[in-house]
Every structure is written in C-alpha cells, then in structure tokens.
A and B are shown apart, each in its own frame.
Chain A
Amino acid sequence: MIRALHRWPGLQALALVGLLSLSGAALSVFPAAERLSAPQAASDLTVGTLAERIQGAYPGVEQIRRAPSGRITAYWFDQGTPGAAVIDPATGQGVASADPNATERWLTDLHRSLFLGDGGRIAMAGGALAMLMLTLSGAALVARRQGGWRYWFARSRGALAGRVHVEIARMAVFGLALSSATALWMTASTFGLVPDGGAMPAFPSEVSGQTGVALSKLEGLDTLPVSSLRDLSFPYAGDETDVFTLTTDRGTGYLDQGTGQMLAWADLGGWERVSETIYMLHTGQGAATLGLVLGLLALSVPVLGATGSIVWLAARRSRPRLRGNVPASRAETIVLVGSEGGSTWGFAATLHAALTEAGQSVHVGPMSGFAPARYAQARRIILLAATYGDGAAPSSAKGFLDRLASAGPAGSVPLAVLGFGDRSFPDYCAFAGDVAEAAARQGWDILLPLDTVDRQSPQDFARWGRALGAAMGIELHLSHHPVQPATQALTLVSRRDYGAEVQAPTAILRFALPRASLWQRLTGTGFVRFRAGDLIGILPEGSPVARFYSLASARRDGFVEIVVKKHPGGLCSGQLTALEPGDSVPAFLRRNPGFRAGRGRTPLILIGAGTGIGPLAGIVRGNARRRPVHLFFGMRHPDSDFLYHDDLPDWQADGRLARLHTAVSRTTRPRYVQDALRSEAGQVAELIRNGARVMVCGGRDMAAGVAEALGDILAPAGLSPAMLKAEGRYVEDVY
C-alpha cells in the first residue's frame, strides 16, 4: 500500500517533480549571490540617516526598499524620468542597476507556473504535492527497509540502485519535505486560501496639510535600525494630503509629511508572520545558506527518479507479464497466487492467457490481497497456492488466512484451490490444504475439489485445467511451459570430499563468482549480492525443475560455495558430486530472507547436522564483527564427515566462533545434535534468556528433534520455540 503511494506519484509526476527540483536548485543560487554582492549597512545605521543620505544623492527619491538579503534599492523621479539603483548605505549613492535579473525572473516563472499563469501554478502545486507524498511514503519505506526508524542512518543493504536511492533519499527527504510543504503553503497563499493578506492601517482622515518635514524628524526613524526596514514610500510630490508610508519587520504605519508624526500604525498579523517565514524557508531570501542547502538537496531528485525507476523496472521484470489483466472489481474470474519463488506466477500467467483467450475476463493478483468485497463481478475465485517450509504461507500469500477469516460469511461465489508442491516432502501442499479447509469451514461453495501439481508438472496442470473447463462449461487447454529463471554458468574451482567411509559421500563445492552485467549490478539480480543462507537453484540435465541448495558463502567471500550430499539415485546431487574443477552447471540465485542472522551483537546459536552446516559455516566465516557464535554440529564420524574441520579451528582462534559443540552418531554411544544441546542446557537457556537468536539448518527429523530439545530446555524459563519463532528469534532452513 505504501509502496503504491510511493510508486505512482513517483512515476506519474517524474517529469514535473524533476523540473521543479532542477529549477528550484538553480534559483537557490540567487539569494546567496545577492547576499554576497549587496553592500550591507553598518549595524548602527538608522533609517533616518540612510534616507537623508539617499535624498542627498537623489532629491526626487520616492521609495526606499530593503530586501531580506540586506540589499537596499532606491526609486526616484528626476525631471519626469524614473530612476532606480542599488544603494551603498554608507554613501547613499547608487552602485548597481536595480533592474530585476532576467534569468532569475525566467526561472521563477518556470518554477512556479511553467509560464502558464494560474493553470500552471496549479499544475506545479500538484508537482509539489506529489513530491510531499513521495517524501512521506518514501520515509516510511526507508524505515521499513532499514528495519525501523531508529536504523534510519544505519548502513543500507540491497541492490546498487535501491541502495543509492535510499542513501540519497534519507538525507534529502528533510529538505524535499520542507520545500514541497512550503511550496503548497505559498500556492495556497497566492490563491487567497490562507488569511495572510496585508494588514494596512486605515488611512488617516486628517493630515496636517503641511509639507517639507526633514527626514530626520520623522517619528521613530532616528532610532529604527536599517535592518528592520522593509519599505519607506515618500508622499506624492505636490499632494499635501499624502503621507510617508513606513513598513518595517513589525508592521506598517503612516507618517505626516509636515509634522513627522506617526498618524496610524498596524502590526503585522500572526498569519502574515507565518507566511513570511515560510516564504523565507522556501526561497532562501533572508536565509541564503539554508536556500543553498535546499537547492543542493533538490538536485537529488533526478538521481532519485532514475534509481527509483530502475528499482521499479527490476521488480516488474521479476514477474511474468500479464497481458490485459482486468481490475479485480470487473473480472468474472479472480485468480490469486500464493508463491514464494515466483514459479506459481508462471502458472497463473498461463491460466490467465488461456481463460482470456476463451473470452473470460480474468484478474490475477497475490493471495495476500484477498478482498472479496471488491470482487463485484466475480463468478469464481481460483487460488493457486504453493507452500513454504513445513506448511507455512508463501510470501505472496502472507495474511491470507486472516483475511479469509475476517471476510465474514462466504458469498455465493464458488472457490477452487490448486496446490503446488513436491511430493517428496512430508508437508506436500500443506498450505493449499489449510486454505481449502478454512474455505470449507467458512461455508464457501466448492467449484472444484482440492487438486495438486507435483514439481511443476505441466501434465498435472493440464488435467486440472480440463476439470476447471468442465466446471465452467468451456474448453480449456492449459499448456504450461515453465519459465526458467535466467541462469548463469557456475564453474567449479575446487572440491573437498567427505563421508565416503560412512556411506554419506558429501562434497563442499566451491564455484567461481560469475561476472555480473551492468544491469545486474544496478538491480542486484544474479550473483551480484548474496549471503550465506540464500539459495541457489541448479538445473540438472534431464529435468526442467530446479533443485535448491543453501549457500555456504557470501558475495564478499568472492566465491559461491555449497555443500552437497550424494543421494542414491539423486539426479541433481549425482551430477553435482561428479563435477571436477573446470566443469560448470547452470544456476540462478534465490534469496532466502527468512533465514538471516539479523543485525546486532546478540549471541547466535547455530544448530546443524550433515550438509546443514553449509550456511552456518558461511555465517561464521562472515562474522567479522566477532559476534558470539555457538555452533552445534552433528556428524556421523569425526574421521569421515567432519565438514569444515580445517576451517573451524581457525575461525575459533580469531574469534569468529565462540564455542563449537559436536555430536557424533556412529560411535558406541551415538549422540545427535539435540543431545549436545541438552548437555549444554544451562548455557543454552542462559544465552536465549539474554536475547540470543537460534538458527537451525538440516534435515526435517533433526529440526523436529532440536525443537523438542529446546522446548524442554526453555520450559523452566517459561519460554518455548514457538514464542521465539513469533519474535523472529528462531529461524529454520529445513529440507
């Protein structure tokens, strides 16, 4: 929602906001230049003395003005010809032309109205409003991305374009918010929407009728410092009913031209003061340094526009294009997608295309946006749901079950659920099952019984499509060609083999970092940016379905490392463990944001067995800040499958690893990693009570055993693994 509030004003008003900021930046130079070039008055100079000096030099003086920069301008009439000059207050003589600067004039007109008068002013105010919305929504997005407002200035992470965008924006946002908010006020003031009109005193009904008072006799002018002067207008020559009009920073008054008496006075109103301050803050007139700073910050807008566009384009490219996606309120068929890595979106795109071709109006969106009240024309809802981890909602379906529950009783629209998963996992399509069950419990009509697609099988999908077509009374042929993510060839650099003696042949494979293109660098796609715990997908020969492995290295290590155990008959693991240095495999990167060590200095408890040590070893290797890390590692036999046993002592010696606890299962007294945990129960409970974070990586059975052991260990302290999970302090990567 906030992202949409940021994206649309950003894209729609990019040109306008860019023009506003560039012209504003150019304009910011003028007040500073004026401030530097204007001869300044001595601090003890009074308006009376200044006026006398000017009158001495220009007897026909009619008006004296002082700009906020301190520049004093006099206007006079000499034998019927008007004249004007910038005045040196020390002499009263003109030193420079008072003609307005044509460039500044032109820029000002462009900046506030595009040379289009009131219509242009409104358009530019729209630009300022877009900018204000961008700064506010952008600030919320920065806070979210950084993990909270207090991390505002913390190091930003992510792809280059996004990082540059955030790093510039979090500095510039203050200036841009000030400039755009003050711009809106000034527009409102110009259109009379703010009650800040000039407070002129009532013109005196009677004047002395005399003329020719000496300027030094004008009431108050002998003590009024020049710095307080705004304007002194002389009476019209030959009109004895006229008066002196004096405007200072406090108000406006009339002075008699015969007696010098103050005849009337009106103080500056509160609204006027506010408007004047806002004018100063926006233009820098009277605050030249602030103006320059704001101008400099405004220069960031074109950069923000460019990097923001790249971020948006990269996000758009990562999803399949849907041609003619109908808005949810007008579509007859609503297709909602729950996808973690993106492959289910591909199926949704195929379904969308086939239904559209069959003349249906179809809307495709994420399950997390489920809003049945908006589906005014809907005749069916189809949910395509993958599963994340052991039965959890995938990222694009976060919050779906809550939305379903709070949506109240089901309407008359029937619903179909299709699950996507991998039969080799115990929780096959568990989330899809939960969804179907919840829908049935809420009383939704069932369009089709729950069906599943195993390992992205096009056959499963086509079969389900025929059933859907029959239910809808149309011919529906779904021919899905899985779109493979763009892969890059990874070339093996070295391998270390373990475990052959204990019937668990395992290899640590290290690949060279592939070269990144400029687009990849800007958008952070490919192997430009990854951390230990992220995943790589590998496409084995003979199967279109990728297999995923946890990364045991980070980008800054300079190589891509994974740990692979050869499974009997395993297609991908067989091919990987047969690789020799110089061989290569096609691979792509997938981020795994749910499995991160997080920031801070709180201790880490890393628990893994077998190949599960891979990402944990990567985290230890990357622990340059010497955060206390306690590693629990389960293996079969220390002489055979003690992965990373060359590295661990070094890491321990230089402080990257605080404690190492091992558990060995192929001995006379077999011990598993959960047993090692139990024997360190006191220390583990103490660490967790003090805020430690737990990361578990490995097989499903091990993870279950670890959770049980931790449950026992934490129970006396009134804690449980579920509570830690809810706080985000207990994360698992289980396979």
Chain B
Amino acid sequence: MKSLLATLALTTALTVPGLASARPVTLTTTMANYGGPGAYLALYVTDSSGAYVGSLWMAGGKSRYYEHLRDWYRATGGDTAHINGITGASVGSGRTLEISLDLSDALFDAGYTLHIDAAAEDMRDSPNEVAVPLTKAGAGTPVPGRRYIASFTYAM
C-alpha cells in the first residue's frame, strides 16, 4: 500500500483508473457570488505531515496566473507537469464545478487532506480556501470555503 502511494506521489497522479482499489469520487465545488471574473482553483492533496502529495484538478488555463494559487504554487514550483491532463476552465461567480475521478482507497481515513487554493483577477489570493480531511465518514458533507467557495463536497 505504501509503495503504491509513493508511486502516486511520484507520478503526481492520484487517480488510478481500472484498479480494484480505486473508487469513483465526485468533487462538487459551488462558488459564492463573489462578484468577480472566473476564479482559478487548484485542488490537491497533502499527507498527514502537511507535505504535498499530488494534484487532483486545476481550474484555469493560463499558467502565468498560477502563482496566485500560492500554496499550490509553492508546493509544485508552478510546474505544470503536475496537472497534465487534469486542467479545465476557470469557474465563474455562483457557478458549480463538478469533477468525477477514480481515487485510490488508500487516500481515505489515512490522514490525507484535500486543499483548494483560489484566486481571481484583481481580487485577493485565497490559498487554502478549503482544507478538508479525506474520510469515508466525511463524504457527502458540504464544507464552506473562506471567501470564494460557498460549499465543497466529495461524494462516493
């Protein structure tokens, strides 16, 4: 199990399609009406010591703005190899972003935390907008964000 996680961290791919030990998870992020342009969001996972493990999704296509997702940027050095193939459009005020992934079972109830960094043009950066421990029990429970995100839910 540990070796699998190590591999995941190395490849930065936390999704494991087709493996028996994976389960489909839906991540739903509903934005607040913050009244600005489309927000950039970085969804990523840290382990129990707070160390970056890997990225789940990047909402926002222009890498020149990634530095405003401060924690994610600091952890990855802004290297877009971390988000190859898991990048989508920025999310507008009041909109909902829904992502379905196959996540490794090993990520749940093992001290991992899912973080979302958010930023919007000409508005404050909001690193760690959401920080929610990944537990099977916590699935389906909405969590509010600090400024841009009205609620975040992961459901299995």
Q: Give chain A's interface residues, CB within 8 Å of chain B.
A: 62-63, 65, 75, 77, 80, 82, 84, 99-100, 102, 105, 109, 117-118, 189-192, 196-198, 200, 202-203, 233, 236, 239, 241, 245
Cβ-defined contact, B128 with A192, below 8 A: no
**Residue B67 at the A interface, CB < 8 A?**
yes
The residues of B that contact A236 with a CB separation of less than 8 Å are 71, 127-128
- CB-CB nearest in chain A for B144: A80
Q: Which of B36, B78, B124 contacts A75 (CB 8 A)?
A: B124
Cβ-defined contact, B64 with A102, below 8 A: no
A-B contact pairs, 14 of them (CB 8 A): A65-B124, A82-B126, A82-B146, A99-B35, A105-B37, A105-B122, A196-B64, A200-B67, A200-B73, A200-B78, A233-B70, A239-B50, A241-B50, A245-B70
Cβ-defined contact, A102 with B35, below 8 A: yes
Q: How far is the CA of A239 from the CA of B49 in the complex (A)?
A: 12
Q: Give chain B's interface residues, CB within 8 Å of chain A.
A: 35-37, 50, 61-64, 67, 70-71, 73-74, 77-78, 89, 122-128, 146-147
The residues of B that contact A84 with a CB separation of less than 8 Å are 124
- CB-CB nearest in chain B for A62: B124
The residues of B that contact A100 with a CB separation of less than 8 Å are 35-36, 122-123
Chain B proximity of A97: nearest CB distance (Å): 12
* Best-buried of B35, B73, B74, B126 by chain A (most CB within 10 Å): B74
Q: How far is the CA of A233 from the CA of B50 in the complex (A)?
A: 20
Chain A proximity of B22: nearest CB distance (Å): 31
* A100-B35, A102-B35 as given contacts; A197 in contact with B63, CB under 8 Å: yes
* Best-buried of B61, B64, B77 by chain A (most CB within 10 Å): B64
Q: How far is the CA of A197 from the CA of B79 in the complex (A)?
A: 12
The residues of A that contact B71 with a CB separation of less than 8 Å are 236
- CB-CB nearest in chain B for A194: B64
Cβ-defined contact, A192 with B67, below 8 A: no
The residues of A that contact B89 with a CB separation of less than 8 Å are 117
Chain A proximity of B127: nearest CB distance (Å): 7
Having A65-B124, A105-B122, one finds 10 other A-B pairs with CB under 8 Å, namely A75-B124, A82-B146, A99-B35, A105-B35, A191-B62, A192-B63, A200-B73, A203-B74, A233-B70, A233-B125
The residues of A that contact B50 with a CB separation of less than 8 Å are 239, 241
Chain B proximity of A47: nearest CB distance (Å): 18
Q: How far is the CA of A203 from the CA of B63 in the complex (A)?
A: 18
The residues of B that contact A63 with a CB separation of less than 8 Å are 124-125
Q: How far is the CA of A118 from the CA of B37 in the complex (A)?
A: 13
Cβ-defined contact, A82 with B147, below 8 A: yes
The residues of B that contact A202 with a CB separation of less than 8 Å are 77
Cβ-defined contact, B67 with A198, below 8 A: yes
- CB-CB nearest in chain B for A63: B124
Q: How far is the CA of A117 from the CA of B92 in the complex (A)?
A: 11
Q: Which of A65, A99, A192 contacts B62 (CB 8 A)?
A: A192
The residues of A that contact B70 with a CB separation of less than 8 Å are 233, 245
The residues of B that contact A99 with a CB separation of less than 8 Å are 35
Q: How far is the CA of A80 from the CA of B124 in the complex (A)?
A: 16
* A82-B146, A233-B70 as given contacts; A198 in contact with B37, CB under 8 Å: no
- CB-CB nearest in chain B for A73: B124
The residues of A that contact B127 with a CB separation of less than 8 Å are 236
Query: Which 6 pairs between the two chains have the least Cβ-Cβ distance?
Result: A75-B124, A198-B67, A82-B147, A203-B74, A197-B64, A100-B122
Q: Which of B36, B61, B64, B124 contacts A105 (CB 8 A)?
A: B36
Q: How far is the CA of A483 from the CA of B99 in the complex (A)?
A: 72
Q: Which of A65, A109, A192, A203 contacts B37 (CB 8 A)?
A: A109
- CB-CB nearest in chain B for A203: B74
Q: How far is the CA of A109 from the CA of B122 in the complex (A)?
A: 13
Q: How far is the CA of A220 from the CA of B125 in the complex (A)?
A: 24
Q: How far is the CA of A632 from the CA of B50 in the complex (A)?
A: 101
